Amino acid sequence: MSTKLLFNITSHENRIAILEKGRLSEIFIQNQKEKSYVGNIYKGKVTRVLPGMQAAFVDIGLERAAFLYVTEFFDEYGDSFHPREMAEEKKRRKRGKVQIQDLLKEGQEVIVQVAKDPIGTKGARLTSFVSLPGRHLVYMPTVAHTGVSRKIDDEDERKRLREIVQSTQKMEGGFIIRTASAKQPANNIVRDVEHLEFQWKKVMDSMEAIQAPAIIHHDLELILRAVRDFYTDDIDELIVDDKESYRKIKQFITQGLPKKRRNVVLHEGPETLFNTYDVDKQIDRALGRRVWLKSGGYLIFDHAEALTAVDVNTGRYVGKKSKSLEDTIVKTNLEAVSEICAQLRLRNIGGLIILDFIDMDLRSNRNKIFNALEKELEKDKNKTNILKMSDLGLIEMTRKRTRENLTQQLCQECEYCDGKGFHKSARTMAYTILRNVFYELNLDASSHHNLEIVAHHHVASILKNEEYQTFIDFEKTTGRRIVIREQGNFHPENYQINLTGSGEAKAVIQSLPHDDEEE
């Protein structure tokens, strides 16, 4: 089966999916009301310098101030750095040899590019290491080096591409030769060099004329950006379900990839594009906590504030009679490696990730799993770092976070549990109410007011049935009547204890969900 790039375009939302052999491997979703700012270049104004964080807030005209770390700021565009020099300079800054307060002052104007969109309550992440991506190349004005994608492994081809770029380049800076440039005719590469240098010249010309905060350069809209970045030779077919977008894509491809133009298809028919290729069902499955493996094992994905934990389990898989327990575990772990990497891409999980594989006795087997994971992660476009497996079967890794993960994009916190994933049981709440009834009765033993308990119907059911005799005893002892009333729309942790008998009921004890949390 072929690899397809699908574009589902509507008036309210754009969705772009990559299908590999019929399986959803990546999904990109953009609400039409929410914009992506990644790749845009701004002239910003520093609003606050934070020496303790070694960072600064920069106003670039967005709702929230953006964030610029000391390691991401260089204020000279006339000079270009070699990657080794840049790496050394970043190390110096991490060690505190260069301080943010020595580089930036409040009110200072800076040229920056958005590296990460705002996520949650965090503002955009900025860098002054500007890069302008093209179809075949990425131009970096601050880097004096021309590099070639590692995925182009033919030495003759690497040499050819580097020579074309270096012989065409007129401005300072360097280029990254992308994987998509492999085996491309020289005129395609030359066209990219000239176009990207022209774009940077326009940015330089705008720097003095524009007053901060203001945008200097817009990156392509999502649809064309996806075509530029993902419509590679690995993609056999591009299918789009909107006529206007189909026209734009055709026009865009004609300029740079005329041979791939015929592989762009307009989807028409009664069934939606994503239903035709079973994408919506695969998205729903990707939001689940449990992922089953073909062997019968399964993975559990748990998201915390600081990290994501992935737990590997044998599940229904018990191995074969001829195999030992160690062989069964290794087979499950190997299958898990492939599925974990696929899920990281699909769910777009970033940051710190802990992989908890099933314990293996032999170090050779632990190395086997680590090597398999390393090889599988080579397919990932996002940068990853992994540490060797510990004796406990744990692998720590990081994956570059560029945007919200799938759960953050499509879900919201549960209004019942407020994101905890659980709430107090009906029995726990029933016993809590009983304790508070005792407290109220003892607080004012001389009172003749009756009591009314209002609670969620599951809690009220336990009180009425299992604790019936307890309330009979209360009434005999105190001479005060206790009425239990169900409230269907109450949160399970919400209840009221009211005084009744003289006009309207008056609440003496009231528990609202999460009332122990600070506002």
pLDDT number for residue 389? 93
Q: Domain check: are 106 and 184 in the same one?
A: yes
Q: Domain check: are 61 and 201 in the same one?
A: yes
> Is the backbone of residue 327 left (phi > 0), alpha (psi -120 to 50) or beta?
alpha
Distance, CA of 366 to CA of 357 (rounded, Å): 9
Structure-block tokens of residue 285: 């499955």
452, part of any domain: yes
Which residues have C-beta within 8 Å of that of residue 181, sequence separation ≥ 6?
136, 137, 149, 152, 161, 188, 189, 192
Q: Domain check: are 49 and 165 in the same one?
A: yes
Helix (H) or strand (E) holding 37: none
415, part of any domain: no
Q: Domain check: are 391 and 273 in the same one?
A: no
- Percentage helix, strand, coil, to 5, in the chain? 35, 25, 40
40, part of any domain: no
pLDDT number for residue 485? 92
pLDDT number for residue 486? 93
Q: Domain check: are 339 and 456 in the same one?
A: no
Rounded to 5 degrees, φ, ψ at 14 are -110, 130
Q: Domain check: are 359 and 496 in the same one?
A: no
Q: Domain check: are 435 and 485 in the same one?
A: yes
Q: If the chain, 519 residues long, is cut into consecutive pieces of 10 residues, what is the mean pLDDT of each piece?
A: 89 91 91 83 94 92 91 67 68 79 91 87 88 91 86 90 93 89 89 92 86 91 89 89 93 77 88 91 91 91 90 78 78 94 94 94 93 92 92 92 84 76 88 87 75 92 92 86 89 88 67 50
**Strands 3-9, 237-240: parallel, antiparallel or unpaired by DSSP?**
parallel
Number of other CB atoms surrounding residue 298 within 10 Å: 19
Task: From 217, 248, 265, give the residue that closes a domain.
Answer: 217
- Counted domains in the chain: 4
471, part of any domain: yes
CATH code, domain carrying 475: 3.40.1260.20
Task: From 374, 408, 442, give the residue that closes a domain.
Answer: 408
Cβ–Cβ under 8 Å, residues 280 and 27: no
pLDDT number for residue 321? 58
Distance, CA of 307 to CA of 288 (rounded, Å): 17
Q: Domain check: are 248 and 335 in the same one?
A: no
CATH code, domain carrying 244: 3.30.420.60
Rounded to 5 degrees, φ, ψ at 310 are -120, 120
Which residues have C-beta within 8 Å of that of residue 221, sequence separation ≥ 6?
none
Cβ–Cβ under 8 Å, residues 358 and 332: yes
149, part of any domain: yes
Domain that holds residue 207: 45-217
63, part of any domain: yes
Q: Domain check: are 444 and 499 in the same one?
A: yes
Q: Domain check: are 321 and 259 in the same one?
A: no
356, part of any domain: yes
Distance, CA of 57 to CA of 45 (rounded, Å): 9
417, part of any domain: no
Nearest to 235 by CA among 18, 28, 7, 382: 18
CATH code, domain carrying 80: 2.40.50.140
Cβ–Cβ under 8 Å, residues 130 and 111: yes
Q: Domain check: are 30 and 51 in the same one?
A: no
Task: From 167, 198, 217, give the residue that closes a domain.
Answer: 217
Q: Note the residue count of the chain.
A: 519
Burial of 383 (0-12, 13-18, 19+ CB in 10 A): exposed
Q: Domain check: are 81 and 213 in the same one?
A: yes
Cβ–Cβ under 8 Å, residues 140 and 173: yes
